[in-house]
Amino acid sequence: MSIQDLFKEKTVLSYEVFPPKKQAKNPSSIYKTLDVLKDLNPDAISVTYGALGAKNNTETFKIAKTIKDYGVESIVHLPGIELTKADVLEKLDQLKALNLHNILALRGDLPEGDFTPGDFRYASDLISFIKENGDFNITAACYPEGHVDSPNIVEDIKNLRIKVESGVDHLITQLFLNNDHFYRFRERCALAGINVPIEAGIMPVTNKRQIEKMTSLCGVELPEKFIKVMNRYEDDPIAMRDAGIAYAIDQIVDLVTQGVDGIHLYTMNNPYIAKRIFEATHNLIDHRAKVIANKNLPKVAQI
Ligand code: FAD
């Protein structure tokens, strides 16, 4: 069943990994991560490509293929900002040869300093081009608090609508730490006629400096409750990790209860954290599938 069809059946669960930055030092670390993730019941695992200016692109397709060989759907991220049409055609051919049919099509982070722009100014240009040149399922990015380059949320939603109409099958959000932003965004999408499923991107935060840098780059609010957690535990890595896991679980419980289409966990290649979150939430995530399948749910006394 395609990922798109799964949204009709259940709350979708996907994980995101990135090709390890220190290839030469520890090339097998990502495969150890995947060994754990594949057993945590994912509907898909996505693999980043050059995120945050990283140059580690060569492994993306290889890792996605390994995921597919495990019997799990993989989604290949593809930022178009520096690619020509010929580059994209070549990559589409490689993907077809590897039997990979899910692409998260992106503009990409703008490289620092001078760079040679390719043929795709916006993600929507890339998506139209991919649709013309193959049979791919297209995922795209969206921003509950607005994209940083956007003058305001209204313009951003208008642009998102153009993007979705260019051929998007489902959306994944940037991380957010205040679920209210997600609920407002979901309403705005509905009002704008954006009707594709939206997966909520959840990032378990275990490092104060890292999240401060990331949220300021991405324009994400750090809620008061979250700041208090970080300030209290920043000098105690284990407590900070557990508080980050608990915060992410709390977000997921609320989202699933409020009927989110799917959860996309930014794993940061940390299988331990993904496993803890899975163990705490999988019964909730599976609940909708059980109800749709009309299975006899066990009575409390039988559990
Ligand atoms: P777009 O949809 O093109 O939007 C970019 C900006 O242009 C927005 O402000 C939008 O409002 C505006 N815009 C769009 N269309 C128009 C139009 N027609 N006219 C005027 N303005 C317009 N980056 C990587 O490099 N590699 C990755 O692997 C990666 N993975 C990601 C995964 C997820 C789930 C997310 C949320 C982001 C990811 N990113 C990744 C980051 C992403 O590339 C950046 O956020 C980038 O700045 C925007 O990409 P986009 O595809 O959303 O761009």
16 is annotated as an active-site residue: yes
Please list every protein residue whose CB sits less than 6 Å from any atom of ligand 1: 48-51, 77, 79, 104, 106-109, 122-124, 141, 147, 149-150, 156, 159, 162-163, 172, 174, 201
Q: Is the pLDDT of residue 253 over 80?
A: yes
pLDDT for residue 295: 73
Instruction: Give the pLDDT confidence score for residue 55 in this predicted structure.
Output: 55
Q: Is 94 helix (H, G, I), strand (E, B) or coil?
A: helix
User: What percentage of the chain exceeds 70 in pLDDT?
Assistant: 95
Q: How far is the CA of 108 from the centre of ligand 1 (A)?
A: 6
Query: Given this model, what pLDDT does residue 73 score?
Result: 97
pLDDT at position 20, please?
87
As its CATH architecture, domain 3-293 has Alpha-Beta Barrel (3.20)
Per-residue pLDDT band at 8 (split at 50, 70, 90): very high
pLDDT score at 116? 87
Count CB atoms within 10 A of the CB of residue 248: 26
Residue 51 has pLDDT above 70, yes or no: no
Q: Please, are residues 41 and 140 in contact by the beta-carbon 8 Å criterion? A: no
Q: How far apart are alpha carbons 57 and 215 in whole angstroms?
A: 24
Which bin fits 275, alpha (ψ -120 to 50), beta or left (φ > 0)? alpha
Q: What is the length of the chain? A: 303
Which tokens hold the place of 303? 């559990």
Locate the ligand 1 atom nearest the alpha carbon of residue 156 and give its number. 11
CA-wise closest residue to 66 among 58, 57, 74: 74
Please check the confidence at residue 156 and state whether its pLDDT lies above 80. Answer: yes
Residue 22 — pLDDT band, cuts 50, 70, 90?
low
Residue 41: CA atoms inside 13 Å, Cβ hemisphere, count? 14
- Average pLDDT of every residue of the chain: 93
Section 84-111 average pLDDT:
95
CA of 106 relative to ligand 1 center, distance in Å: 5
Mean pLDDT on 232-255: 97
Q: Quick one: which of 142, 284, 286 has its CA closest to 218?
A: 142
Pocket residue to mutate for ligand 1, from 18, 63, 106, most atoms within 8 A of Cβ: 106
Q: Where are the domains of the chain?
A: 3-293
53: which residues sit within 8 A by CB, 6+ positions away? 109, 111, 112
Q: Give yes or no for residue 182 having a pLDDT over 70.
A: yes
Q: DSSP per residue over 248-262, as a string?
A: HHHHHHHHHHTT-SE
Catalytic residue among 16, 73, 145, 199: 16
Lowest-pLDDT choice from 35-39, 179-183, 217-221, 299-303? 299-303
Q: What whole-number distance in Å separates Cα of residue 110 and Cα of residue 22?
A: 22
* CA angle in degrees (0–180, nearest 5) for 153-157-159: 115
Q: What is the pTM of this model?
A: 0.95
Which residue has the CA at smallest separation from atom 21 of ligand 1?
Answer: 159
CA distance 105 to 80: 8
pLDDT at 258: 97
| Across 149-169, average pLDDT | 97
Q: CA–CA separation, 280 vs 46, rounded Å?
A: 22
Which tokens hold the place of 106?
């992106």
Residues contacting residue 213 through CB under 8 Å, at least 6 positions apart: none
